[in-house]
Structure 1
Amino acid sequence: MAAIQQPTPKAGKKPRARKHSFHLDMTPMVDLAFLLLTFFMLTTTFAKPRVMQLTMPVPDKKQPALVANKQAMTIVLGKNHQLHYYFGLYAPADPTVPVPTLQTTNFGPRGIRQALLARQSQQPKPVVLIKPGPQATYRDMVDILDEMNITDQQKYALTDLGDADRQLLEANKKQ
């Protein structure tokens, strides 16, 4: 453990105050540190991964699920954490469906959450269509799914960004 080394006295000289050299053996302390480290690593509980439950519909190849125009709200995830949304569906081939007004917002406290809550108060059971744009990030997708849970949206779907939506985004950029 610890040892004090005594210097050997030299012959014929007057004895002086002795300087003792001290050597501490650190081996037991290192052993104890590794034992404690091993004990705490083996007895700790690691963080369990949190998983969001998704209920996926059964694919029906005969007829796709139809959403009523008055129930729909479409959210397009854009670049720089921006969101574009409009109420209803956009079908440029159908002349009876008007061109929707595209609005832009963000994930802030007065952003998409307020729009979702307003839509929920207007339409009791809205269907939210989430369409990630080409420059959307994974974080944007997680954030919008969190907003769906926070605002207690019962029906929402992740869909592809269609050509009609791309045209609507381009027309909005020009304005």
Structure 2
Amino acid sequence: MAELTAAPEKQGKKVRTKKQALRVDLTAMVDLAFLLITFFMLTTTLNKPKIMNVTMPVGPTGEGVPESRTMTICLGKNNQAMYYLGLAENPIIAATVTGYGKSGLRRAIMDTRKKVFQSTGKSMIVVIKPGDTSVYENLVNTLDEMKITDIDQYAIADIAPKDISLLKDKQAY
């Protein structure tokens, strides 16, 4: 690490002490610096945030959504979701409250998707409407269910007063 170089002794009467030259070896410091730089670069590349891509529409469009292919999922309180097929006033599948997970929302999406494909021959469209009493985690879980069940066409919309009254009737708002 540190190196001391001593001058050779002279033969003579008077012995004089010479100043010794001090030299510090910085090799270990440079190695440590490169090790730290490598470590922090590696940890920042491995620690990328997980992002879910959601494409939102630019503005209102003139086209309506076919009610025979549209499943509406309203997110309520206490980790409950209500779903129905068609319009809220005259649903093809009546409004039903379910939980999240394999036997709840996922099963409802898969069964409804099968029914829609058998009747129309086209894929199902899902409209997700988070209520004021729902939590953000429920929205993320619902979007995860869209990915798991391979639903390509879905949208996030504002909840309508009719949907709020249906949620209140089912004690989920």
Kindly tell me the number of residue pairs found equivalent between the two proteins.
140
Q: What is the correspondence of 1:118-133 to structure 2 with a 5 Å cutoff?
A: 118-124=111-117, 125-133=123-131
Shift of 1:50: 2.6
Whether 1:47 aligns to 2:54 is no
Shift of 1:75: 0.7
Shift of 1:144: 0.4
What TM-score, normalized to structure 2? Answer: 0.68
Shift of 1:59: 2.0
**2:105 counterpart residue number:** 112
Q: SS of the counterpart of 1:173?
A: coil
Contact 1:79 1:135 in 2 (8 A): yes
The equivalent position to 1:78 in structure 2, one of 76, 85, 96, is: 76
Shift of 1:58: 4.0
**1:27 counterpart residue number:** none
The equivalent position to 1:103 in structure 2, one of 96, 107, 115, is: 96
What TM-score, normalized to structure 1? Answer: 0.67
Q: What is the aligned-residue identity percentage?
A: 38
**2:64 counterpart residue number:** 66
User: 1:18-54, CA deviations, whole angstroms, 9 ceiling, x for partnerless residues?
Assistant: xxxxxxxxxxxxx89x755565224443322232222
Q: Which has the higher helix share?
A: 2
Equivalent residue letter for 1:81? N
Q: Distance in 2 between matches of 1:66 and 1:162?
A: 16
Contact 2:97 2:170 in 1 (8 A): no
The root-mean-square deviation of aligned C-alpha atoms, in Å, is: 2.9
The equivalent position to 1:169 in structure 2, one of 138, 145, 167, is: 167
Shift of 1:107: 1.2
Shift of 1:60: 4.0
Contact 1:90 1:99 in 2 (8 A): no
Q: Distance in 1 between matches of 2:91 and 2:36?
A: 67
Q: Any unmatched runs of 5+ in structure 2?
A: 1-28, 118-122
Q: SS of the counterpart of 2:103?
A: coil
